Amino acid sequence: MKIFRKTVSAVLLAAALLWYASPSVQTLLVGAGAATGSAPGLSVREDGVREVQSTTDERLSTGRRYTVRLFGAIPLRTVETIGNWRQLVASGAAIGIRMQTQGVQIVGFGGIRTKSGTVHPAQDAGLMPGDAVLSINGVPVETGADFSRLCDSETPVELRFLRDGAPQTVSVAPALDEDGVYRIGAWVRDSTSGVGTLSFYDPASLRYAALGHGISDVDTGVLFGNGGGQIYAATIVGAVRASGGEAGELIGVFSGEETDAIGAIGRNTVFGVSGTLYAPIDGTAYPLASPDEIRFGDAETVCTVDGAVPQRYRVRVIRKDVHASPQTNGIMIEVVDRALLDRTGGIVQGMSGSPVLQNGMLIGVVTHVFLNDSARGYCIYAAQMAEKLLESD
């Protein structure tokens, strides 16, 4: 009987060791930096930070090595995590943005008053708000003036345009209005500008990411196709406080002169705006946090709400794995810093792109505010934003 009990005990111990040591169990037990505590008897110790060479990128990446031990003594497995970038410089600086659209973007329609009545050539041809007109009769269209000039034709014109990224063509017959000018009855926009926040950049390549969301047309909500542009250092000269369900806003000024630009715009996506800085700017480098490394509770956001120098303000992480859009994932924060609440009432327009820090890591980037509670807002995971934007155009 004793021999039988010893045999059973040995088999059970071996089975337990195999279970604990299996890769699937380790995946459950070890996040990127901490044990979940879901298995009794296991402890996880960080053995240090290492650097690895990416197979697709010449830059060094940051990794961490952990040892999983049973009862704190028996080593079972070494687990290594690898980050995408070694460190990114968190900014929080206010920036001015000037971006040309890809072609000209249709933002609305108007009727053409002719001798025989009001007509709607563009709408009748099937054009829609958000369509980006690239050329007319084979001639590239870059400005609203180009669009008006090329549509002033007695004969039908062929428009080549993008809709949801797909090229299409349509023939439109301009109508002669009461002023003696041929028009198709479409309002277009060829550029946009505004103030936002620079989130972070890679000190090795000077690739930057900003805003945390794309630049969309204010009338149609359609994401602008990027026709090129630049970013500029901005100064915040005022703030409209958020209140009564209305979003607040930072009021900023910037030069807009090409010689004063600090970087080029390369991409405009749902994850933010990205491009390349012309020179390094002030900021502190931090490692990227994976979602598993983010904790509920105290954190800081870096933003510029007065003048041109970024400041740190206290916030709290109150939710994780939330979606501000179908494509993005992140956290929800609450502003608890009295200085920021007094200045802006919470999160306001212009703060989009403000980096969020916790435990010496870059964890997120502010993107949206709750209109019914301006102290709370969404942040995209900094790791997701970096993965999507810090790559070559």
Type of residue numbered 159: L
Q: What is the pTM of this model?
A: 0.75
Give the model's pLDDT for residue 393.
Answer: 52
In percent, the amount of the chain with pLDDT more than 90 equals 64
Listed in sequence order, the DSSP H helices in 50-119 are none
Give the model's pLDDT for residue 244.
Answer: 75
Task: Decide if 95 contacts 197 (C-beta within 8 A).
Answer: yes
The residue annotated as part of the active site, out of 131, 290, 337, 368, is: 337
Give the model's pLDDT for residue 68.
Answer: 63
Q: Count each helix (H run) and each strand (E run) in the chain, helices first.
A: 6, 27
For 189-221, how does the pLDDT look when each residue is reduced to its tens digit (9 = 90+)? 998 899 999 999 999 999 999 999 999 888 788
Judge whether residue 231 has pLDDT over 60.
yes
Listed in sequence order, the DSSP H helices in the chain are 2-21, 23-29, 121-124, 144-151, 338-344, 382-389
Give the model's pLDDT for residue 151.
Answer: 96
Q: What is the mean pLDDT of residues 18-43?
A: 44
DSSP string, 312-369: EEEEEEEEEEE-SSSS--EEEEEE--HHHHHHHSSS-BT-TT-EEEETTEEEEEEEEE
Element (H, E) at 307: none
Q: What is the mean pLDDT of residues 170-195?
A: 93
In percent, the amount of the chain with pLDDT more than 70 equals 78
Give the model's pLDDT for residue 371.
Answer: 83
Give the model's pLDDT for residue 26.
Answer: 40
Judge whether residue 257 has pLDDT over 50.
yes
Neighbouring-strand partners of residue 198: 210
Closest listed residue to residue 313, CA positions, set 296, 300, 331: 300
Instruction: Give every CB contact of residue 298 below 8 A, 6+ residues apart in sequence.
Output: 314, 316, 317, 358
DSSP string, 253-275: E----GGGEEEEEEEEETTEEEE
Q: What is the mean pLDDT of residues 236-252?
A: 89
Active site residue 323: no
Higher-pLDDT residue of 208 and 225 is 208
Tell me the C-alpha distance between 96 and 59, whole Å.
30
Neighbouring-strand partners of residue 101: 226
**Secondary-structure breakdown of the chain: helix, strand, coil percentages, each rounded to the nearest 5:** 15, 50, 35
Tell me the C-alpha distance between 227 and 121, whole Å.
27
Tell me the C-alpha distance between 64 and 81, whole Å.
5
Give the model's pLDDT for residue 55.
Answer: 33
Task: List the domain boundaries for the chain.
Answer: 2-82, 90-98+192-389, 111-184
Whether the CA torsion 86, 92, 96, 98 is positive or negative: it is positive
The residue annotated as part of the active site, out of 91, 352, 354, 374, is: 352
Closest listed residue to residue 147, CA positions, set 119, 193, 106, 179: 106
- One of 3.40.50.620, 3.10.580.10, 3.40.50.720, 2.30.42.10 is the CATH number of 111-184, namely 2.30.42.10
Judge whether residue 43 has pLDDT over 70.
no
Active site residue 368: no
Judge whether residue 126 has pLDDT over 50.
yes
293 secondary structure, DSSP code: G
Give the model's pLDDT for residue 224.
Answer: 86
Type of residue numbered 289: A
- Count of C-beta atoms within a 10 Å radius of residue 67: 15
Give the model's pLDDT for residue 59.
Answer: 38
Q: What is the mean pLDDT of residues 132-137?
A: 96
User: Considering only 22-26, 45-49, 104-108, 336-340, which range has the smallest mean pLDDT?
Assistant: 22-26
Give the model's pLDDT for residue 41.
Answer: 59
Q: What is the mean pLDDT of residues 129-133?
A: 93
User: Considering only 32-36, 169-173, 228-232, which range has the smallest mean pLDDT?
Assistant: 32-36
Whether the CA torsion 370, 371, 374, 380 is positive or negative: it is positive
Give the model's pLDDT for residue 372.
Answer: 87
Dihedrals phi, psi of 146, to nearest 5 degrees: -60, -45
The residue annotated as part of the active site, out of 190, 202, 213, 217, is: 213
Give the model's pLDDT for residue 302.
Answer: 98
Contacts for 383-386: CB closer than 8 Å, 24+ residues apart: 383/84, 383/288, 383/289, 383/290, 383/291, 384/271, 384/328, 384/329, 384/330, 385/199, 385/209, 385/212, 385/271, 385/272, 386/84, 386/85, 386/88, 386/200, 386/209, 386/288
Active site residue 337: yes
Type of residue numbered 144: G
Give the model's pLDDT for residue 356.
Answer: 98
Give the model's pLDDT for residue 72.
Answer: 64
Residue with tokens 């023939």: 171
Closest listed residue to residue 57, CA positions, set 90, 83, 91: 83
Give the model's pLDDT for residue 6.
Answer: 55
- One of 3.40.50.150, 3.30.70.240, 2.40.10.120, 1.10.3720.10 is the CATH number of 90-98+192-389, namely 2.40.10.120
Half-sphere exposure of 193 (CA within 13 A, CB side): 13
Arithmetic mean of pLDDT over the chain: 84
Judge whether residue 139 has pLDDT over 90.
yes
Judge whether residue 7 has pLDDT over 90.
no
Confidence at 49, pLDDT banded by 50, 70, 90: very low
